[in-house]
Amino acid sequence: MERKQKENGVAAMAVCYQGFDPAAYLQYNYTAPRADFGRNDSIVPWKLACLHRAFTEGDVSGELLVDIGSGPTLYQVLSGCEVFKKVLLTDFLEVNRQELRRWVQDEKGCNLDWTPYLQHVCKLEGRRPSAWTEKAAKLREVITDIVPIDVHRPHPLAPDALPSAGADCLVSCFCLESVSPDLAAFTRALGHIGGLLRPRGHLLLIGALGESYYFGGPGVKIPVVPLNEAQVCASLKESGFTLIRLEVYTLSQDMRVGVDDVTGVFFAKARKD
């Protein structure tokens, strides 16, 4: 009975995602004001700064970086692509994998121009903004594949997707809380993705605080597990991670643009025990 309930909750989430619209999602979350590179109190520059710092502190290293639940976005690997020789992108939905493939293969029809993102991260790295073309080429070179994932499975990726030692680092942004029916499922999913990581490997986790829903497209209301900082820390601990740092961003009124009810964003840097 209990197992059936768990399965039903997860299945209901999968149904919600059938209406996910990558173009609308990108428009809602990855254009101004949430992605205003002229303001450092805008959400996206804050996330990029957290990722830049985490990837350049010197403790995160290895061969393979895996992004869990990439969605149609690339911002989360713009710093990591300079550190890791291989980057694997993953998502549950083919429409999102298709969006990513279009960019990687430099095809027409991408729903977002990532140039300002590439330029901004070059600036964070102390490079001239025109180096963005080199960064784009680097990213295209290191992305080895874009593959299906389901974080609710004990083994979220196909058996041959990773080397047997596991990934050296995972990054995951706004995925686990927005695909889980409740806190217990969020924690279980965290444990499942932990299984993809080598011992002592790093997890860089970004997610929503206090969010109960977001729009994945016009009229596509997707439920989210509302998390607080203490729950994030407890779930990490329970799933076999040691927290290195937790940073929190609080949304100002003008960042609340009617596409969700998020109140804050957390960034966690953790290490697998």
Q: Which residues bind ligand SAM (CB under 6 A)?
A: 17, 20, 69-71, 73, 76, 91-93, 96, 149-152, 173-175, 178-179
Query: In the bound complex, what is the minimum distance in angstroms from residue 160's beta carbon to ligand SAM?
Result: 18
Helix (H, G, I), strand (E, B) or coil at 177: helix
CB of 178 vs ligand SAM, minimal distance in Å: 4
Q: Select 131 or 248, whichever has its Cβ closest to ligand SAM.
A: 248
Strand, helix or coil for residue 193:
helix
- Other CB atoms closer than 10 Å to residue 71's CB: what's the count? 28
φ and ψ at 202, to 5 degrees? -100, 150
The whole-angstrom separation of Cα 43 and Cα 34 is 5
What is the closest distance, in whole angstroms, from the C-beta atom of residue 264 to ligand SAM in the complex?
15
Nearer to ligand SAM, 32 or 133 (CB): 32
**In the complex, least distance from residue 74 CB atom to ligand SAM, rounded to whole angstroms:** 9
Residue with structure tokens 């209901």?
A: 12
Burial class (CB in 10 A: 0-12, 13-18, 19+), 173: buried
Q: Provide, rounded to whole angstroms, the least separation between the CB of residue 206 and ligand SAM.
A: 7
User: How far is Cα 130 from Cα 203, in angstroms, rounded to an integer?
Assistant: 30
Smaller CB separation from ligand SAM, 17 or 37: 17
For ligand SAM, the closer CB: 242 or 270: 270
Pick 76 or 119: Cβ nearer ligand SAM? 76
Residues 6+ apart with CB under 8 A from 168: 61, 62, 63, 64, 65, 84, 197, 198, 201, 202
Nearer to ligand SAM, 126 or 148 (CB): 148
Q: How far is the CB of 28 from ligand SAM (least distance, A)?
A: 10
Eight-class DSSP state of 12: H
Whether residue 186 contacts residue 194, with contact meaning beta carbons closer than 8 Å, is answered with no
| Nearest residue relative to ligand SAM (C-beta) | 71
The count of residues in the chain is 273
